[in-house]
Amino acid sequence: MEYQISDLSPHLFWDVDRTGVEWGRHEKMIVEKVLMYGLISDWRIINAVYGKEKIKEISKTIRSMDEVTLTFLCTIYDLKPEDFRCYRLRPFQPNFWE
């Protein structure tokens, strides 16, 4: 099945003109938005379009990611948090009580 950008959840593209988004030219933006804010149906679509290896490589380069998404990706790709750019570039934030 061939998917269109319009098959993804509309809330993912609240900040851009959805009609100008292309699978090939904007793959990093699409993967990042789906990982951070997408539904499971969006995840299935990008898996079908890009494949797990491509998503894995793109996700490792993302600058910022929440803990839940990072843990999810570590689990499904059998990776360590240190493999992700967002983890390595995380600023040191000491605990308030320490």
- How is residue 32 written in tokens? 């990042």
* Entry pTM: 0.83
**In which residue are the tokens 């499904």 written?**
76
Q: Alpha-carbon distance 62 to 21, whole Å?
A: 19
pLDDT at 32: 94
4-20: average pLDDT: 92
Please, what is the average pLDDT of the chain?
89
pLDDT at 53: 95
pLDDT at 58: 95
- How is residue 70 written in tokens? 């990072």
Q: pLDDT tens-digit profile of 57-83?
A: 999 999 988 889 999 999 999 999 999
